[in-house]
Amino acid sequence: MQESVKTKRLVVRLATAAVLMFGFGFALVPLYEVFCDITGLNGKNFTQGPAAITAVDRSRTVKVQFVTVNPAEMPWEFKPTERTMRVFPGEDKVTAFYAKNPTPEWMVAQAVPSVTPSEAAQYLHKVNCFCFDRQPLDAGADTEMPLVFVVDPELPKHITTITLSYALYDLTETDNQQVTLRSQDNDKGRASL
Amino acid sequence: MATVDVDLPHVKDEDPHHHGPAKGIGRWLFTTNHKDIGSMYLIFSLCMFMIGGIMALIIRAELFQPGLQLVEPNFFNQMTTMHGLIMVFGAVMPAFVGLANWMIPMQIGAPDMALPRMNNWSFWILPFAFLILLSSLFMPGGAPNFGWTFYAPLSTTYAPESVTFFIFGVHIMGASSIMGAINIIATILNMRAPGMTLMKMPLFVWTWLITAFLLIAVMPVLAGVVTMMLMDIHFGTSFFNAAGGGDPVLFQHVFWFFGHPEVYIMILPAFGIISEIIPTFARKRLFGYSSMVYAVASIALLSFVVWAHHMFTVGMPLVGEVFFMFATMLIAVPTGVKVFNWIATMFRGSMTFETPMLFALAFVVLFTIGGFSGLMLAIAPADFQYHDTYFVVAHFHYVLVPGAIFSIMAATYYWLPKWTGHQLNETMGKFHFWLSFVGVNVTFFPMHFVGLAGMPRRIPDYALQFADFNSMASVGAFIFGFSQLVFIYNIIQNVRVGEKATAQVWEGANGLEWTIPSPAPYHTFSTPPKVD
């Protein structure tokens, strides 16, 4: 019957649309990453490695604040050695973060950075950062983890303060499982894990 | 809608191939009849409305006074979560699907839905979905307690163990909604009576066609987001876990990409119902039929580009805030078209105020109030003050309770004589209306004030200065809650007794469903009517 053929075709199309939209839900994940990468939204976009910056802009200074966050189950002591710095855009700066593992067990952690305002994220170049790698610490051990960064002289004039926040995550359990994932990420030169 | 002149060959159940319903429980389990399935959806929705309502009353009882009196904070959170989930997915959505099942075939002159067996299935998986969801209340750790919006990581890393049951429940409801939507689209596009062109369809059919497309577009995204949660919880992925490179803000984007169209899924069929009822009791044709259709379509399209107005405070860049602010405000334009068209329909009409009309009028006024508070929330800089306060609660309850729920009640009273064959008891109907109308406003209006003053939502306790308005809201909630017993009484009484209804039922009613006798025979339009 003509009618039932028409209905069947329509139902197949609609069901396909539903399946595609299910896929689209998952496609939003990489799309979101790409979107944030391109636009630098969400404070996620960090350029790392030596930046091609020669001139230092001595006409203004930018206040850089350091903030650390421990998620609920993270027992480490984790804090910046300096809370704020005044920097000239274009100038290489070095600072360090203190971490201590007070537990009686060996642990691995990694810091995930975030920049506020997110508009500033793409102007904060990290030449070297402890957040690029995992940080293993023996029971009771402590360490100072270095951060070398430079603020791009292109930074829009209305931004006078940049806050760099690190959340430190316990990766002891997942360490072995995710080694491959991590090395791939490093190949691509991604800052966030 | 255009006046429909119908040439009816026969509508009675005289054909020997036709038969009445089967006997016993089997009728309901195996039925493929759109009227049976519609009734089951409506009864199911009413049960869920009562369960969700009891949860709301537990919430309001706790909030009657500051301090903790009745329930533990964790149980309070379970109540707010379950109340939201049950009302959205269990009460409002199935009620509209039930009305669609009953009315769409009768309004377009079709003998049944296009896919009657799938129709049976899409209903019968629903009770199981909600059994799964409700069973989580009795599990160790309790039911989901992370709010109906289930933001990660609260719903993943910090969730009670029962979250997995919640996820499967949502999967099943999603499957049910998608099947229902496919069925409705197939029915509307392929089964219209000869002469029933798209632009002659009643607005209830039009709004449901557009709603069904919205459902197909966004319910799979909801299924996707809960699947990601499931994988984060059980399979070690890190979609929403920052420690693994994921992002909790991503959850909010994906959720609201579903969530905003979802709120229109709950209001567009209501627009359709109101557009049926107002012309009937104003005894005039609907003003601006085609502009109504285009307004609904543009609201549906805009719903896909406004989602981030739910998350102005996550730290979006200014460009994003401005875009989502203006896109949201743009929706006020087609919505305004609809409100003005309803008013223009009533203008110089010879109006009467039967129960369905009272609910429809209350809808127009109170939904507009909810729309205006929505506009206030859309102002990004002001939203930082309103965000997550009772002002938001007041806003969405104004659009959902006197909006969606009142439209469902209006539809029930409007079409009940057609379903049962008994005229409405107007006195009892009006009694129910006035109790509900007063109850709703006493409940939700004070919430605007405490919200603006800074009372956060989803808390079991609050600062003393909010005490008066909260006790007022609680009194209103109990009035509204218990007045629904009158609603149930009215329905049961109407099924049992009442003056015999004519086919026309309402003097000013227009459309194919009023050409068949009341109660509507088990099979209608086996031979399609001809619409000129």
Q: What is the mean pLDDT of residues B170-196?
A: 96
Chain mean pLDDT for chain A: 80
**Up-side HSE of residue A45: CA atoms within 13 Å toward CB?**
18
State how far the alpha carbon of B24 is from the alpha carbons of A25, A129, B29, B46, B118, in Å: 43, 73, 9, 22, 21
A128 pLDDT band (50/70/90 cuts)?
Answer: confident
Q: Tell me what percent of the residues of chain B surpass a pLDDT of 90.
A: 89
* Shortest Cα distance, chain A CAs vs residue B228, angstroms: 8
**Which tops the pLDDT comparison, A128 or B386?**
B386
Q: Which two tokens stand for residue A54?
A: 């020669």
pLDDT of B201 strictly over 50? yes
Q: Report pLDDT for B120.
A: 96
Nearest to A42 by CA among A142, A115, A145, A151: A115
- pLDDT tens digits along B347-373: 999 999 999 999 999 999 999 999 999
- Antiparallel, parallel or unpaired: β A161-170 and A62-69: parallel
- Quote the pLDDT of residue A181: 42
Chain A CB contacts of B318 under 8 Å are 119
Neighbour-count burial of B235, counting CB atoms closer than 10 A to its CB (0-12 exposed, 13-18 middle, 19+ buried): exposed
H or E element in which residue A103 lies? none
In order of A102, A136, A174, B240, B263, the CA distances from A180 in angstroms are 28, 17, 11, 20, 42
Residue B102 annotated as catalytic: no
Spatial contact of B466 and B455, defined as CB atoms under 8 Å apart:
yes
pLDDT band at residue B7, thresholds of 50, 70 and 90?
A: low
CA angle B263-B298-B408, nearest 5°? Answer: 40
Lowest average pLDDT, out of A107-111, A125-129, B116-120, goes to A125-129
DSSP string, B438-475: HHHHHHHHHHHHHHHTTPBSS-S---GGGHHHHHHHHH
Strand ranges (E), B475-525: none
B112 given a catalytic annotation: yes
Distance from CA of A156 to the nearest CA of B (A): 14
Average of per-residue pLDDT across B180-188: 96
> Measuring CA to CA, how many Å separate B244 from each of A118, A164, A192?
21, 19, 9
Res B506 pLDDT > 90? yes
pTM metric for this prediction: 0.87
Per-residue pLDDT of B28-84, as tens digits, reads: 999 999 999 999 999 999 999 999 999 999 999 999 999 999 999 999 999 999 999
Residue range A43-178 in CATH 3.40.640.10: no
**Would you state the pLDDT for residue B16?**
46
Average pLDDT over residues B240-244: 79
Q: Taking 90 as the threshold, does the pLDDT of residue A35 lie above it?
A: no
Q: Any idea what DSSP says for residue B520?
A: P
pLDDT at A121: 81
Residues B382 and B408 sit within 8 Å (Cβ to Cβ): no
pLDDT single digits (tens) A18-31: 999 999 999 998 88
Statement: residue B231 has pLDDT above 70? yes
| B18 is an active site residue | no
Q: Residue A41: pLDDT above 70?
A: no
Q: Give residue-wise pLDDT tens across range B282-315.
A: 999 999 999 999 999 999 999 999 999 999 998 7
The 3-class SS string of B112-146 reads CCCCHHHHHHHHHHHHHHHHHHHHHHHCCCCCCCC
- The string of pLDDT tens digits covering residues B69-78 is 999 999 999 9
Confirm whether B260 is a catalytic residue: yes
The count of C-alpha atoms lying within 13 angstroms of the C-alpha of B502, restricted to the half-sphere facing its C-beta, is 6
CA distance B156 to B164: 10
Contact B315 A193 (CB under 8 A): no
Which amino acid appears at position B422 of this protein? H
Residues B33 and B522: beta-carbon distance below 8 Å: yes
Catalytic site residue B158? no
Task: State how beta strands A84-87 and A62-69 pair.
Answer: antiparallel
What is the token pair recorded at A123?
């102007």
- Mean predicted lDDT score pLDDT of chain B: 93
Task: Report the percentage of chain B scoring pLDDT > 70.
Answer: 96
Alpha-carbon span B129 to B1, nearest angstrom = 37
CB pair distance less than 8 Å for A22 and B224: yes
Average pLDDT over residues A58-72: 87
Instruction: Give yes or no for a contact between B510 and B1, defined as CB atoms under 8 angstroms apart.
Output: yes
Q: Which chain A residues are within 8 Å of B119, Cβ to Cβ?
A: none
Contact in structure between B369 and B437 (CB atoms under 8 Å): no
Q: Given the residues B284, B309, B397, B418, select the one marked as catalytic.
A: B309
Query: B244 near B210, Cβ under 8 Å?
Result: no
Closest B-chain CA to A6: B190
Instruction: Tell me whether residues A18 and B190 touch, CB distance under 8 A.
Output: no
Q: What is the pLDDT of residues B394-441, one digit of tens each?
A: 999 999 999 999 999 999 999 999 999 999 999 999 999 999 999 999
Instruction: Tell me the two tokens of residue B325.
Output: 């602010």
Cβ B473 vs Cβ B397: under 8 Å: no
Answer yes or no: B275 catalytic.
Answer: yes
This model of the complex carries an ipTM of 0.86
DSSP letter (8 states) at residue B389: B
How far, in Å, CA of B216 to CA of A21, rounded?
A: 8
Residues of B in contact with A170 (CB under 8 A): 243
| pLDDT band for position A152 (cuts 50, 70, 90) | confident
Q: Which residues pair with A65 in a beta bridge?
A: A84, A163
Handedness of CA B119, B121, B123, B129 (dihedral sign): negative
pLDDT given at position A45: 54
- DSSP letter (8 states) at residue B284: S
Please give the pLDDT value at position A42: 62
Range A57-82 average pLDDT: 88
Share of chain A above pLDDT 70, in %: 80
For B14-24, the pLDDT digits (tens) are 444 556 787 88
Q: Specify the residue for token string 């790698």.
A: A133
Using alpha carbons, list the distances in angstroms from residue B440 to B234, B435, B494: 42, 8, 24
Token pair 């191939």 is found at B17
Query: pLDDT band at residue A180, thresholds of 50, 70 and 90?
Result: very low
The vertex-B167 CA angle with B28 and B91, nearest 5°, equals 45
B487 pLDDT more than 80: yes
Per-residue pLDDT at B9 exceeds 70: no
Q: Which of B154, B171, B247, B255 to mutate to test the interface with A (most CBs of A within 10 A)?
A: B247
Residue B127 to residues B134, B172, B283, B488: CA-CA distances in angstroms? 10, 10, 40, 20
List the 232-261 stretch of B: residues with Cβ below 8 A of A: 236, 239, 242-245, 247, 249-250, 253-254, 257-258
